Amino acid sequence: MRIDGGRFLLTGGASLIGSHLAEQLLAAGAGEVVLFDNYSLGSPEVAASLARDRRVRALRGDILRPDQLHDALDGVDGVFALAAFLTLPLSRDPGLGLDVNVRGMHTVLEACRYRGVKKLVFSSSVAVFGDPDEAGVDERSPLRWHGVQPALALYAASKVIGEGLCRLYGERHGIGWIALRYATVYGERQHHRGVNALHIIESYERIRAGLPPVLPDDGSEAHDYIHVADVARANVMAMASEVSGESFVIATGVDTSLNAIADLLLRLTHSDLRPEYRQDAGKVSTTTRPQLGFSAAKAKRLLGWEAQIGLEDGIARLIAWADAARA
C-alpha cells in the first residue's frame, strides 16, 4: 500500500508508539493521519501537538464502541491497531484489560470489514512466546506459559487471540494484515506502564534525584530493548509492503541485562552511585532469564526491516527528552 497520499487511522494514537508512528507517516507523505484514542492511557497533549499538522485529526473514541469506530474509519485506507492494555495495567484490571485486548480487537476488525479497510497492522508482542526455553526465538517458537506470572499469561493469550482474529478476518473477509511482535519498546515520551522499559525510566529518575537505581535479585535479568523509532518504522514498512498474513518479531537480537542498563545510565549521567538489589515477591515480571535470543531475520528477509538505533544512542535520546520535559 502506498503511504504517500494515503489515509490512516491509529487506534491508541496518542501513545508512545502512536506518536512516533504518526510522525513517520507524515514524513512519508501520508494524506491524513487519524489519532483515535480515549485518553485512558494516551496523552491529550501528544495528540494536540501532532494535530498542529493539518493532515492530523485527533479524535476521541473508544475501540469498544463500534459506532465511534465506524464513523472514524470513513475513507480510511489502512489501520494501525495499537490500542491495548499492557501487562502491568492488565494485572491491575484484568476484566477491562481483556475486554480491550480481545473484544476491542474484534470490534476494530469488524469495523474494518464494514468500512472496506484494505490493510491492518496489529501491535502484537514477544509475550506470545511466554518465557521461551530455547537458544533462538523466532516466529515458529511456541507459547510457553506454564511457569510465567498470571498477568503475563493473560496478556500473552490476548495477543495470541488478536493475531488469530487477524487471520480469521483475512481468510473470511480478505482484509490484509500483518502482526508485529515487539520486544521491549522504549524511547522519548516513555510512559510508566511497560513492565520492562519501566526499569529504564525509573532508574533514570532515581539517579536524577540522587538515589541509586534499584534492581531486582542480582540484576542479571535481560531484555531486548528496541527504540520506539525503529518500531514505528517497522509499522510503516509493514503497511507499505505487499506482504500480508504474516507475523514478525520486531527486536534487535541483543539481550541487555538490568545491570548493563544501570551501568549505562550511571555513565551517561556521570554519576558515581551504585545499584541496590532487592527482592520484591509482588512485583509483576515477564522473565528472569539472562538470555532470550529473539531473531528478527524474517522481518529483514520479507520487509527489509532491521533495528538501526543502538541502545546507548536510544537511551541518550530518552534522557535528553526527559530533561527537556522537566525544564
Q: pLDDT by residue (tens digit) across 150-186?
A: 989 999 999 999 999 999 999 999 999 999 999 999 9
Element (H, E) at 159: helix 150-173
d(CA 72, CA 83): 15
Beta bridge partners of 124: 181
CA distance 132 to 138: 10
Using a 10 angstrom Cβ sphere, with 0-12 exposed, 13-18 middle and 19 or more buried, the burial of residue 59 is middle
Which domains, and CATH codes, for the chain?
7-186+224-253+294-308 (3.40.50.720)
Whole-number pLDDT of residue 195:
59
β-sheet bridge partners, residue 35 = 10, 58
Question: What pTM did the predictor assign?
Answer: 0.94
Backbone angles phi, psi at 88, to 5 degrees: -65, -55
Q: Which helix (H) or strand (E) holds 323?
A: helix 311-326
| Neighbouring C-beta atoms of residue 185, cutoff 10 Å | 23
pLDDT digits (tens, 9 = 90+) for 21-53: 999 999 999 999 999 999 987 788 888 889 899
> Which of 180, 142, 179 lies closest to 164 in space, CA to CA?
179
- Cβ-defined contacts of 303-307 (< 8 Å, 24+): 303/234, 303/237, 303/238, 303/241, 303/243, 303/248, 304/237, 305/233, 305/234, 305/237, 305/238, 305/248, 305/250, 307/226, 307/227, 307/230, 307/251, 307/252, 307/253
* Sign of the four-CA dihedral 155, 160, 164, 166: positive
267-295 mean pLDDT: 79
CA distances from 302 to 226, 248, 305 (A): 19, 9, 8
pLDDT surpassing 80 at residue 194 = no
Return the minimum-mean-pLDDT range out of 15-19, 148-152, 246-250: 148-152
Chain Cα centroid distance, residue 93: 19
Q: Which of helix, strand or coil describes residue 121?
A: strand
What is the average pLDDT value for the chain, to the nearest integer? 92
Distance from the first to the final alpha carbon of the chain: 41
- Residue whose grid cell is 512519508: 28
Which residues are within 8 A (CB) of 238 and not within 5 positions of it... i.e. 6 or more apart?
121, 178, 180, 248, 303, 305
Poorest-pLDDT segment among 85-94, 229-238, 268-277: 85-94
